[in-house]
Amino acid sequence: MKLLKEMCAIHAPSGSEAPMTDFVLKYIDKNKKQWKHKPKIFAGDGFQDCIVLVFGKPRTAVFAHMDSIGFTVRYGNELVKIGGPRTVDGFELTGNDAKGKIDCKLVVDKENNITYKFKRELERGTQLTFKPDWRETKEYVQCCYMDNRLGVWNALKLAETLKDGIIVFSCWEEHGGGSVSYLQKFIYDKYKVKQALISDITWVTPGVPHGKGVVVSLRDSLVPRRSYLDKIIAIAKKSKEPFQMEVEGSGGSDAKELQMSENPWDWCFVGAPEDHVHTPDEKVFKSDIDSMVKLYKVLMEKL
């Protein structure tokens, strides 16, 4: 879990993914010699802060968003949400502005207005994120930004053995998206790949508990094509890896830009469930992480 712990502490809310991009590119450069197969790496000009890895003759693309939720400093100590963070009075926030390091506290009043408490006024436009507090036991890991540093971690583990496939590290997912619309076009035009897995983190609910395996989502606010889901479920059942099936009426992911695109993409969200969503205390069981990694390897071989 050392890599995951390190990534959870990186300040990279939507719009400020560059530190996470730099970290992932350096990790790839350092570790790709040990991977079974070497990918083509697409990044930089034309990709903004996104990264695309192409292995062999790809049939399926895995999408993992690198950004997190957070807050933007407005004026008069006001904060504006980035994405959908939970706002609880006293949450610790961190960041930097032109005057230096910031460790401050979230203030929520009776009208649910959100501000910050700090010894000085912060530079407007400064982005703040939850202060990382890593907790680990034999059973689980807990910290801010498991969503979606764990999805990125899963994709990097997949890269160690992947023979044929594409891994996409995307941006802006938590705050409306935007990057997948041009990434999917690049992938479809160049490689004719049109099926995807979304390496992201879902919710613990009464029907989806901790410790019962990775979640295959049958729907959220969008409905994927059932024949594609049936393929994934059949492969998952045959693999004997523990997994759960989820049905939700809200929420979304990078998949929304695939489904709304001009190209005929199939997609399925496959990810571990977490508790305390969009707080500093996101909690995931290690057994569910293990089944996520194993099922992705099987799916990328069989799809």
Complete domains list, the chain, with CATH: 2-68+135-302 (3.40.630.10), 70-130 (2.40.30.40)
Distance CA 257, CA 166 (A): 17
Per-residue confidence (pLDDT) for residue 255, from 0 to 100? 96
Per-residue confidence (pLDDT) for residue 5, from 0 to 100? 98
Per-residue confidence (pLDDT) for residue 202, from 0 to 100? 97
Per-residue confidence (pLDDT) for residue 129, from 0 to 100? 98
Distance CA 97, CA 220 (A): 37
Per-residue confidence (pLDDT) for residue 154, from 0 to 100? 98
Per-residue confidence (pLDDT) for residue 290, from 0 to 100? 98
Q: What is the pTM of this model?
A: 0.97
Beta pairing class for 61-65 and 165-170: parallel
CB 208 within 8 A of CB 273: yes
Per-residue confidence (pLDDT) for residue 52, from 0 to 100? 98
Distance CA 85, CA 280 (A): 9
Per-residue confidence (pLDDT) for residue 260, from 0 to 100? 96
The C-alpha angle 254, 257, 262, rounded to 5 degrees, equals 150
In the predicted model, residues of the chain with pLDDT beneath 50 are none
Per-residue confidence (pLDDT) for residue 20, from 0 to 100? 98
Between the alpha carbon of residue 51 and those of residues 87, 98, 110, 168, the distances in Å are 31, 28, 42, 6
**Nearest Cα residue to 303 out of 227, 231, 241, 242:** 231
